[in-house]
């Protein structure tokens, strides 16, 4: 049950990094939603490996096949299964990992959990697993857009210590796609690209922060207690490989303020109740208030680095390992469409939950 | 379904802040676990309002009654229902909130969602809801301790900008309970108490960070994809009132490092595989690796401040509001046992899930 | 997780037969539904022990207390917890069962499962557990009635071999409540009462069949595959103590017909598409078609009989047991409101699910 | 969420009858279980259309491809996705159904629910959907066999009014597979085959009853209240196309007996506690008692008959329809492996649930 996400708009992903295929089943999507393979493919292409010099050089077309749930370009209300075949597998790169655990990877923990693991390429722990999420997210995004006018944009906010300046209220997808690092602050973007390039040449890796905004979310989404919108968004983002932190609205920095500085005063807006500030990040008591929802996810530096490292083998003996294999020196640029997908999945699910319970 | 948490060790809370009672049903607890009302009460007493001068002055004994699932001090394997009656309700304090929305509270979003709300004291959005979680958490904690030797300790790590110095590997519950702010760094604790006192007198409020550690967690807990241990911990903590951020291990700061600095090298330990450092915070690929699990939760400054603020009323007209009612000027000291409870709930659930699937 | 039922309109029951209290938490009920304790009580009174000479003589007022989720007679959208205290416990009656297993009861299987059991009165296996279901069902019924005009009536269709003649399309609740056996065929009812009386005096017990009809269910409720309306109704009824069979529409008898006899021809009705016959029992492909939903549940003869029987004790040794304790010589009359409650719970859940996914 | 079944051993099926492919994702299967495509294929071949003259003549190889979750013949503990491509689609046969509803089919109810439907061949309502269940069931069966020595056998017990005589305690799979109708009573089998042949030539259809037994199930599986073993088995079987009834143990007939006749006396067996009779069908209080689990499912006569029938079209006007398309004149023979699969899925799930909660 580890691979099912959502309550009404529910997805179930499958597939190992170096197995025959990956995919996803979307259950609970409303009927008569216009969906084509092209809608999915455009998002998969943004996630695709080998898309630029600062991402992994593994070559995968990641072409999606819709197996069910869509007829003549409309959803049927039944499960939508989507398949992506693996093509460019170089298992030989991983031969050494058959017996040695890569530091800060999931090799050891999978072995501890299951007593077996897909040692080629990380199996389910590989970022390749997210291809199914992005496919499903493309449908969720379409639903939100057509049913409620919701728009979701994510972007790289920070790489290592290089912080960009971005206005979540105005940033557009075109701004984001304008460069290969997906940072809408072009000056910062140039520096980020240079820094990633340098790390890559160095056989090292970098981390950073992705920020995402959802605009046009109606007030009332999210549930009071455990399934708060922030809680489900946090789970969604922390479920991504390499993610180690989550913030909503003012986040960690906001905890340094006093209540008198931090409270968002309400006022009568043109057509709805608004807040003067948005420290809450569009969510109060776990429920959307109609303002922009703003969240941030922290991604650690990629664990795979092309350097000799201390580790142990499957017999528990000390040894060293110098990984080969292709990898992203910094996962941030490709994480952008994945973060958007997860945000869309959470919001679509809560949109349908709200419609179910509150009509 | 908003009020159900967990997959096997599953809890369901109920109750409004100013209704007749609050409580929780724990479903899926293993049989023959020794549990008494006293085990529960000790944790409730740590969460209880009115416990010190820096917490809310509402007086609640928060005495627990076990209604089911326990016979002669042993769990039966059936649902354990626990009831806590409300006593000291002063609904008159809230009369003005019947028609006006408190800024940065859940009044407006509940109204937007449901078209109705328990206007006295915040209803389900009140921190009083967590009393059921703490009761359930006391049982989860006992299970973890007896079945796997797990020990969980949380503490106040930061209040506003006052940061404590604490070693998660060694901190004890006695250290935490040694002062009313629950910060084991006694020098920092004194300053924190003074700062909270000052804010209280000022009618203002403060935020901060709680850190929690789980020691002795066996390797292998957590699920590969959506139900990663970090993802479920993030959801658990972000589901707490006032929580706006979550970190695991190196968290946001770790994203500033390079992979070569951040990777945790494995080595052959005395009786199991260990890591030299613990940037991973005890979790790799979403699964525990046997090292200390370390997480942090950011709590915003309390929204209730005793100051006149700009807001709107239920007709959408601009107005002002000066809240009365009793409140915590800083939720951090009372958040400590709540964070522990949530951590225990997540770990107990994953412990049983692991036992179910992997035997 | 054994005690949670439903996906959106979700209930969670708790309580042992001879513990302090029983109850239920209803999560996911729509807001602003008028609900009072009296609405609940009327259904509990129909289920109450000691209501007539042909039911158990245990005296329980079964008075419900609403603990949460309702304010000024309207639901809040938050969990509705309801409590029923046990009063007339005569644990001494069960002293012998502390060590001996009652034949065809759950004593042995609970012990095998949990290694412990509430030996007084059957614990969770007792029909007393259903008090929570009936309380929750009263709310589900109200929702269905007010939101969709659905009407649910159940009645005793057969006791042992005494079969009643009832028209599900016209039977009313008044017809059902007209006699203590709850069989609307008054001639059959008299014979049933006499038969039950005789069995009771004989220290023996009887089984039979309850039939239930839901009228006014809109077309489109139910899910295509696993959560077919029939599947969820079957689960709901088979989850009742003593239930050993379920039928929908033509059921087992229908399997003797040919397709040409059994198919329900469609025709253009006054305001909607109708079927000439209703062998389908209002459900086709697992989804309601707008016709009356008709189901039947088989209840075995009560396991508790006041006769000496062969059994074993907890040490596994052969022995005999002559149960004391109060019991229903035939569960059918009291099963009627319970079957209605379960049907209401399933339909309310599917009503909200349909609204969520299909808008 | 309509297409997810199970709590720990959880499956999710997808695919339309006349879409590109069908399949299933199995989540929660224990690791290191030996599984090959051949293990799956042997069960699919028993379910395959066109296997004999008394089944549908649609030609489908139903060859399974394992896409994930298995490495070198062992399960990884991760989701196992399995794909079966559709081949022999004759959508032209269904052209008339594009606008007309087949009586007692799901055409009308799908349209009412979703406002759209896969009109070719029944979409998700087609029995083709069960191919994924059988694939998943093959794995569940293997788990039960290897981990607990459980053996599951189903067979045709009745066709129309032709009842077979079979001893559930001794019947073997070889007995079942000895003839094309899958009835181990060979004399009855011959008559059944003749009857089905005759109905087929007549353009008509037949129903009947499948009985299934699980031997070697350990005591203690099943949950006390809603997830009783019987409740989950009932749901599993009623979720099959054309199923209208379910019985466990003595079922409907048992309700005609008195308690003194029906109770199963316990006695000290050779190595465990046994019962003299098995009216309970191996389940007491919803939990297995170690005796043979015996259930029966009623299947109505196939709705597709090759005769002109009264119906309405999508505009709601009266019309007639004479279906073409290939179909089973009696679903019973092919239902046998499907019933076994569902039983295996329920038991495997409860086996893992029991291991999780009760250790």
Chains that touch C (3 or more CB pairs under 8 A): A, B, D
A273/A285 Cα distance (integer angstroms): 16
User: Of B4, B16, B123, which has the smallest distance from its Cβ to C10's Cβ?
Assistant: B4
Q: Which of A146-160, B57-71, C86-100 has the lowest mean pLDDT?
A: C86-100
Chains that touch D (3 or more CB pairs under 8 A): A, B, C
The candidate with the shortest Cα–Cα distance to D1, out of B1, A12, C218, C219, is A12
SS3 per-residue string spanning chain B: CCCEECCCCEEEEECCCCCCEEEEEEECCCCCCECCHHHHHHHHHHHCCCCCCCCCCCCCCCCEEECCCEECCEECCCCEEEEEECCCCCHHHHHHHHCECCCCCCHHHHHHHHCCCCCCCCHHHCHHHHHHHHHHHHHHHHHHHHHHCCEEEEEEEEECCEECCCCCCCCCHHHHHCCCCCCCCHHHHHHHHHHHHHHHHCCCCECEEEEEEEECCCCCCCCCCCCCHHHHHHHHHHCCCCEEEEEECCHHHHCCCEHHHHCCCEEECCCCEEECCCCCCCEECCEECCCCEEEEEEECCCCCCCCCEEEEECCCCEEEECCCCCCCCECHHHHHHHHHHHHHHHHHHHHHHHHHHHC
Q: Report chain A's mean pLDDT, rounded to a whole number.
A: 95
The structural domain count of chain D equals 1
Average pLDDT of chain D to the nearest whole number: 95
Q: In this structure, are residues C120 and B76 in contact, taking their beta carbons and an 8 Å threshold?
A: no
> What is the model's pLDDT at position B57?
79
Q: How far apart are CA C40 and CA C36, in angstroms?
A: 7
Residues of A in contact with B163 (CB under 8 A): none
3-state helix vs strand vs coil in chain A, percent to 5: 35, 25, 45
What residues of D are in contact with residue A124 (Cβ under 8 Å)?
76, 78-79
CA distance C100 to chain D (A): 10
pLDDT, residue D243, reads 98
> Residue A288's closest chain B neighbor by CA?
B109
Distance between CA atoms of residues D242 and C228, nearest Å: 11
d(CA C13, CA B353): 22
Judging contacts by C-beta atoms under 8 Å, the chain C residues touching residue B65 are 20
Percent of chain C whose predicted confidence (pLDDT) is above 90: 89
pLDDT at C121: 79
Q: Tell me which chains share at least 3 CB pairs under 8 Å with chain B.
A: A, C, D
Write the CA distances from C24 to B82, B159, C27, C126, C136, integer angstroms: 12, 40, 10, 15, 7
Contact partners, residue B91, CB within 8 Å, separation at least 6 = B18, B120, B121
Chain A environment of B280 (Cβ under 8 Å): 104
Which residues of chain D are within 8 Å of residue C158 when distances are taken between CB atoms? Answer: 255
Query: Which ranges of A66-129 would DSSP assign to H, the alpha helix?
Result: 107-114
Q: Torsions phi, psi of B9, nearest 5?
A: -85, 95
pLDDT single digits (tens) C167-191: 999 999 999 999 999 999 999 999 9
| Statement: residue B1 has pLDDT above 70 | no
**Distance separating alpha carbons of residues D254 and C242, to the nearest angstrom:** 11
**DSSP symbol at D325:** S
Query: Across the strands, what pairs with A208?
Result: A159, A299
Does the distance separating the beta carbons of A224 and C356 come in below 8 Å?
no
- Give Cα separations from B219 to B142, B145, B273 (angstroms): 19, 15, 10
Contact A262 B105 (CB under 8 A): no
Of A1, A10, A67, the CB nearest to D19: A67
**A352 has a pLDDT exceeding 60:** yes
**pLDDT tens, B72-122?**
999 999 999 999 999 877 667 778 889 999 999 999 999 999 999 998 878
Host domain of residue A345: 4-358
Say how far apart CA A260 and CA D155 lie, in whole Å: 73
pLDDT of B347 strictly over 60: yes
Confidence (pLDDT) at A121? 79
Give the one of A29, A224, A356 whose C-beta lies nearest to C352's C-beta.
Answer: A356
Torsion sign across C-alpha atoms D10, D15, D16, D17: negative
| Strand residues in C67-128 grouped as ranges (E) | 70-71, 74-75, 80-85
Q: Do C259 and D129 touch (CB under 8 A)?
A: no
Structure confidence at residue C15 as a pLDDT band (50, 70, 90): very high
Does the distance separating the beta carbons of D2 and A25 come in below 8 Å? Answer: no
Predicted pLDDT of residue A91: 67
Total CB pairs under 8 A between chain A and C:
42
Whether the CB of B68 is below 8 Å from some CB of chain D: the reply is no
B37 touches chain D (CB under 8 A): no
3-state secondary structure of A116: coil
Confidence of residue A27 (pLDDT cuts 50, 70, 90): very high
Lowest-pLDDT choice from C30-39, C337-346, D81-90:
D81-90
Question: How do residues A138-183 score in pLDDT, each as one tens digit?
Answer: 999 999 999 999 999 999 999 999 999 999 999 999 999 999 999 9
> How far apart are the CA of B315 and the nearest CA of chain D, in angstroms?
38
| Shortest Cα–Cα distance, C350 to chain B (Å) | 14
Q: Is C324 helix (H, G, I), strand (E, B) or coil?
A: coil
Q: What pLDDT is stored for residue C354 in this prediction? A: 97
Any idea which of A261-265, D2-6, D126-130 has the lowest mean pLDDT? Answer: D2-6
Contact A357 C356 (CB under 8 A): yes
User: Can you say whether residue C328 is alpha, beta or left, with left for phi > 0 and alpha for psi between -120 and 50 degrees?
Assistant: beta
- Asked if the C-beta of D47 comes within 8 angstroms of chain C's C-beta atoms, the answer is no
CB within 8 A of B155, min separation 6: which ones? B164, B166, B171, B175, B176, B182, B183, B184, B210, B211, B212, B336
- Cβ <8 Å between A247 and B250: no
DSSP A37: H
Report chain B's C-alpha Rg in angstroms. 21
Report chain B's mean pLDDT, rounded to a whole number: 95
How near does any CA of chain A get to the CA of B108, in Å?
7
What pLDDT shows up at residue C1?
52
User: What are the pLDDT digits (tens) for B213-260?
Assistant: 999 999 999 999 999 999 999 999 999 999 999 999 999 999 999 999
Question: Is A78 within 8 Å of D124 when comparing Cβ atoms?
Answer: yes
Closest CA to B154 of B164, B146, C123: B164
CA distances from D61 to B242, D40, D87, D286 (A): 58, 13, 8, 39
pLDDT tier, D247 (very low <50, low <70, confident <90, very high otherwise): very high
Give the N- to C-terminal CA distance of chain A in Å, as an integer. 29
B220 touches chain D (CB under 8 A): no
Inter-chain Cβ pairs, chain B and chain C, closer than 8 A: 153
8 Å CB contact between B40 and B138 = yes
Contacts of A328 in chain B (CB under 8 A): none
- Interchain pair B78, D224: CB under 8 A: yes
pLDDT band of residue D1 (cuts 50, 70, 90) is low
How close, in Å, is residue C19 to chain B by CA atoms? 6
CB contact under 8 A, B1 and C16: no
Strand, helix or coil at D44?
Answer: helix
Largest CA distance in chain A: 68
Beta-bridge partners for B274 = B267
State the CATH number of the domain containing residue A61.
3.60.150.10
Mean pLDDT on D306-334: 91
pLDDT tens, residue by residue, A186-243: 999 999 999 999 999 999 999 999 999 999 999 999 999 999 999 999 999 999 999 9
């Amino acid at each position: 049950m580890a691979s099912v996400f959502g309550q009404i708009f529910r997805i179930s992903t499958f597939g190992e990094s170096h197995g025959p295929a990956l995919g996803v089943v979307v259950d609970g999507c409303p009927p008569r939603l216009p969906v084509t393979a092209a809608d999915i493919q455009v998002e998969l292409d943004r996630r695709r490996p080998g898309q630029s010099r600062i991402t992994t050089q593994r070559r995968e077309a990641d072409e999606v096949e819709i197996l069910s749930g869509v007829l003549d370009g409309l959803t049927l209300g039944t499960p939508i299964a989507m398949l992506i075949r693996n093509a460019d597998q170089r298992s030989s790169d991983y031969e050494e990992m058959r017996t040695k655990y890569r530091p800060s990877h999931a090799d050891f923990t999978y072995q501890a959990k299951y007593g077996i693991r897909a040692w080629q390429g990380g199996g389910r722990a590989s970022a390749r697993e997210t291809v199914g999420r992005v496919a499903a997210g493309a449908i969720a995004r379409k639903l939100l857009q057509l049913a409620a006018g919701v728009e979701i944009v994510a972007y790289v906010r920070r790489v290592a210590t290089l912080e960009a300046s971005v206005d979540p209220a105005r940033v557009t997808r075109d701004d984001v796609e304008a460069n290969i690092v997906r940072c809408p602050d072009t000056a910062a973007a140039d520096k980020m690209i240079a820094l990633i390039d340098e790390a890559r040449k160095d056989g090292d890796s970098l981390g950073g922060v992705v920020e995402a905004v959802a605009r046009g979310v109606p007030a009332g989404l999210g549930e009071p207690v455990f399934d708060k919108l922030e809680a489900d968004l946090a789970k969604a983002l922390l479920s991504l490989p390499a993610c180690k932190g989550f913030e909503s609205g003012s986040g960690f920095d906001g905890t340094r303020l006093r209540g008198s500085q931090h409270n968002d005063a309400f006022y009568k807006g043109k057509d709805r109740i608004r807040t003067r500030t948005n420290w809450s990040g569009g969510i109060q008591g776990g429920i959307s208030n109609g303002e922009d929802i703003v969240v941030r996810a922290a991604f650690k530096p990629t664990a795979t680095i092309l350097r000799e490292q201390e580790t142990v083998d499957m017999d528990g003996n000390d040894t060293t390992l110098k990984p080969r294999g292709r990898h992203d020196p910094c996962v941030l640029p490709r994480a952008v469409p994945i973060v958007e997908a997860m945000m869309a999945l959470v919001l679509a699910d809560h949109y349908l939950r709200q419609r179910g319970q509150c009509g």
